[in-house]
Structure 1
Amino acid sequence: MDKLERINSVQMTMLFLFFMTGSSIVIIPAPLTNVAGNGGWIALLIALAMGMLLLACVLYLFRRFPEQSMIEYSQLLIGRAATALLFIPFTCVMFWHVAGIVIEIGLFFKSTMLKETPTYAVNSLLFATIALTVRAGIEAIARMVAVLLVLMFGFIILVCVLVGNLYHPEYLLPLMPEGIGPVLNAAYIAYGFPYSELVAFAMILPCVWTKDKPSVSKHLFLGLAINGATLILSIVCSIMVLGPLSGDLKYSLYQLSRLIFIQEIIERIESVIGFSLIVGFYFKASILLHILMRTVTQLLGLKDERILVFPVSFVCLLLSITTYTNEASMEELVNLTWPLINNLAYVGPLLLMTGVALFRRRMAK
């Protein structure tokens, strides 16, 4: 790892918040309320608890191997050959993951603000910006994140406050009109996206300065709690305003912003809100591409990860404009297939290495 690529624990936590909240705040409320109805926020709580368990595994391995990434300590635990076999699916899914985030940005643009703009034009511009951001390095990304994180969360809270006159708390009842089954189904969706994805973040945790490593665990757990609270807030607000329609209208937070009307002074602010939400998409895609570059570099044994930024970005661009351009196919992927893929490619290797590390530690005593 490049010794210059170091950030403090607060910056890492802000990156983690963008990683977990960036796209999920726009996408996740609608499918959860569509499947679980008023119990969507309960499903999110269940998924958040599962995410906490995964984060605990990630941080346990980080404490055991504070200077090694996920691939590096995997090589120590199970050997180079087994690591290569284990991380080939991980890397392939990362390519689809980066492309998928940009596909979602394109679909968001197409269905809200830029309805006549070709998808390939939006995706190409986004990937050019994302690639240049990643080439600047994680330090530059971390320096950008503070202001834009405040912008994104500030607008989320602003929307929830400004639609306060439209709240109908009675829409929150009954909590589980169809029983626990739909809630568990919705929890499965939220677990697959975004909580199982946090495993990939283990690739960049060693970038934290050595003096800040002891505080990383509590900061990341705090970040995950803030993420859960924000998603629950967006789900509850959507239900209280939109009622039964909250599960049928995509991009719930954007739909709420369209309803803001205060004395003919504040109205039609959805474009501003939309662009602030796109900041979240952009940062998540940038962080994912940086993780992908680090993964490919370490698997191939290269010294400079930045030489592959543009070729890898071009491959992801091709994937984004040739696959899942249909909204129905993308929705099916996120709701059904993606949790299973993430379990096999992300969670499986994490649990295997956690088990091996615990076994070796026990045998060493």
Structure 2
Amino acid sequence: MSQPSNISSAQMATLFLFFMTGSSIVLIPAPLAHSAGAGAWLSLVLAWSMGAVYLYCILYLYRKRPDLSLLANCRHLFGQLPANIVMLPVIIVMFWNVAGIVSEIGLFFKSTMLKETPTSVVHALMFLMIALTARAGIVVIARMSALLLALMIVFIFLVLILVSNLFQPGFLLPILPHGIGPLLQSAYIAYGFPYSELIVFAFILQHVRREESRRLSRHLYVALTVNGVLLLVSILGSLLVLGPLTGDLKYSLFQLARLIFIREFIERIESVIGFSLIVGFYFKASILLFILVRTVVEWLNLRDERLFTLPVAFVCLLLSITTYTKESSLNEMVNVVWPLLDNLCYVVPMLLVVAATMLRRPD
């Protein structure tokens, strides 16, 4: 590639944490609480466990062939044409996912801040920023991520601390009011978003500097653990304040920020959590767009990925405007269709490569 592409294992872990947490920390509480009620936190633990299994799988492939992406690994095992066929659904779903992330940004602006601004304008401006960020390369993205991730986490904990006087522990019971069925349904949602999505990092782990490869596993597991803690805190904080309303109020952390009022000195700070929302969506979309562009270029056996960033972003823009047109259909896609497609198009190809690697004799 024509641009620098080596980062440290800690930087890769930061990107991983941002990708896994960026948008999910605000979106996850509502659908999980809607399905499982006060047991939403338990469903998250189940989904997180599956994420840990998938992280082990992609790290297994990385240890076997640290210089190869998932696509290159697949080509090494099956040949170029079969590998291209296997990876085509992965690329298609990446297009769909990038469009979906930006559609969520547009929906957030439309329902909270920029109610009179056309959604297409919000999408276009967001995609322009995302494309320029992805075009700058993984080194620049990694350098930007640390500070913005820290700010996002600080703002979220600030909101939770300021609403702690409204906590009602009774809202956390009963844990399983309707049995285990709703709990598993809720875990299915969290499994599809965000934990099955971590498979995409198998396409860029080779960007870690070779001398730091031994520390990558530890750093990524720490990042996954921090992600689980952050999502757990977000769900518990929402349940403790909003109780049964958590499942009916989208962007629950944003709703919590609206409740903060301290003697006319601290009030109306939802813009703070709004900043966290925007940063989270923006960085997750930028990381995924970078992975998508790089994978498309590798799939087509091309060289200059910077040249294709804007065209790929434009295709994603068209998808975001034409595919996600209604909030109700978007919610159904995220909660039902998204986990199914991620499982079929991300997890299955990855497990196929893992199985073939295990069964193949050493080179």
TM-score tier, shorter chain, comes to over 0.9
Separation in 1, partners of 2:276, 2:81: 44
Secondary structure of 2:4's counterpart equals coil
Which residue number in structure 2 is paired with residue 326 of structure 1?
A: 326
Q: Does 1:239 align with 2:243?
A: no
Output the amino acid matched with 2:227. Answer: N
- How many correspondences in the alignment? 363
Gaps of 5+ in 2: none
1:138 aligned partner: 138
Name the CA distance, whole Å, in 1 between partners of 2:213 and 2:2: 17
- Change in Cα spacing, 1:182 to 1:121, as seen in structure 2 (3 Å) is same
CA distance in structure 2 between the partners assigned to 1:115 and 1:280 by the alignment: 21
Please state how far the C-alpha of 1:2 moved relative to its aligned partner: 5.1
Structure 2 distance, partners of 1:178, 1:276, is 34
The amino acid across from 2:210 in the alignment is T
- The one-letter code matched in structure 2 to 1:44 is L
In the alignment, does 2:107 pair up with 1:107? yes
Q: 1:47–1:191: 8 Å Cα contact kept in structure 2?
A: yes
For the residues of structure 1 that align with 2:348 and 2:93, how far apart are their CA atoms?
Answer: 13
Q: Where in structure 2 are the equivalents of 1:168-179 lying within 5 Å?
A: 168-179=168-179
Cα 1:310–1:364 shift into 2, 3 Å: closer
Give the whole-Å Cα distance in 1 for the aligned partners of 2:214 and 2:2.
21
Per-residue CA deviations over 1:234-273 (Å, capped at 9, x if unaligned) read 1111111001101100011111111111121110000122
What does residue 70 of structure 1 align with? 70
Summarize the alignment of residues 75-224 of structure 1 with structure 2, pairs less than 5 Å apart: 75-224=75-224
**In structure 2, distance between residues paired with 1:364 and 1:88:** 27
| Equivalent-residue separation in structure 2 for 1:144 and 1:308 (angstroms) | 22
Provide the C-alpha distance between the structure 1 equivalents of 2:180 and 2:132, rounded to a whole number of angstroms.
Answer: 46
Cα distance per residue 1:344-365 (max 9 Å; x no partner) = 11000110010001111xx459
> What residue in structure 2 maps to residue 36 of structure 1?
36
Alpha-carbon distance in 1 for matches of 2:116, 2:123: 14
Q: Where does residue 337 of structure 2 map in the other structure? A: 337
User: CA–CA distance in 2 between the matches of 1:121 and 1:128?
Assistant: 11
**Residue identity matched to 2:136:** A
The corresponding residue for 1:276 is 276
AA matched with 1:296: V
Shift of 1:74: 0.8
Distance 1:48 1:239, change over 3 A: same
| 2:195 aligned partner, one-letter code | Y
Which amino acid in 2 is paired with 1:9?
S
Q: Who is 1:349 aligned against?
A: 349
Shift of 1:68: 0.8
2:146 & 2:217 partners in 1: Cα distance? 20
TM-aligned CA deviation for residue 337 of structure 1 = 0.8
Determine what percentage of the aligned residue pairs are the same residue. Answer: 59
**1-structure distance, mates of 2:177, 2:232:** 18
Task: Check the 8 A contact 2:4/2:137 in 1, yes or no.
Answer: no
Q: Does 1:304 align with 2:304?
A: yes
Q: Is residue 2:5 matched to residue 1:5?
A: yes
| Alpha-carbon distance in structure 2 between the residues aligned to 1:29 and 1:183 | 13
Matched residue type, 1:325: T
Q: Which amino acid aligns with 1:157?
A: F
How far apart, in 1, do the equivalents of 2:339 and 2:2 lie?
A: 33
CA 1:216–1:267 in structure 2 vs 1: closer, same or farther (change >3 Å)? same
Amino acid at match of 2:202: A
Distance (whole Å) between structure 2 residues aligned to residue 325 and residue 48 of structure 1 = 30
TM normalised by structure 2 equals 0.98
Contact 2:26/2:234, CA 8 A, preserved across alignment: no
2:333 maps to a residue whose letter is L
Q: Distance in 2 between matches of 1:226 and 1:343?
A: 23
2:251 matched residue in structure 1: 251
